[in-house]
Amino acid sequence: MRLRVEFTTEPFDLDEAPTHAVVAREVIQAAELDAVDVGPFGNTAEGGADEVLTAVDSLLRQALASGATRVSLQVNVIEGKTP
């Protein structure tokens, strides 16, 4: 199964990326995922289910430990969907 994760971390800072946002992006960029797209208002990545779920676990733990007060995420099956 292939998954896509989309996420943002808060609080926002329009002048400089907060530590929690940088950490979250680094987690996703270091994970064994493909189609990674990081931006100022949202981030996406795709990969196998195990890889995405492992990255999401690490992303949540590290972003919260780095000062995030909210992590909004959505995970979608993009391939291999079962009925």
Q: Which two tokens stand for residue 21?
A: 């946002």
Quote the pTM value. 0.86
Cα separation, 46 vs 37, whole angstroms: 9
- Tens digit of pLDDT for each residue in 5-28? 999 999 988 788 899 999 999 999
pLDDT given for residue 60 in this prediction: 97
Mean pLDDT of 54-66: 97
The predicted structure's pLDDT at residue 12 = 86
In DSSP notation, the chain reads -EEEEEEEEES--SSS--HHHHHHHHHHHHSS-EEEEE-SS-EEEEEEHHHHHHHHHHHHHHHHHTT-SEEEEEEEEEES---
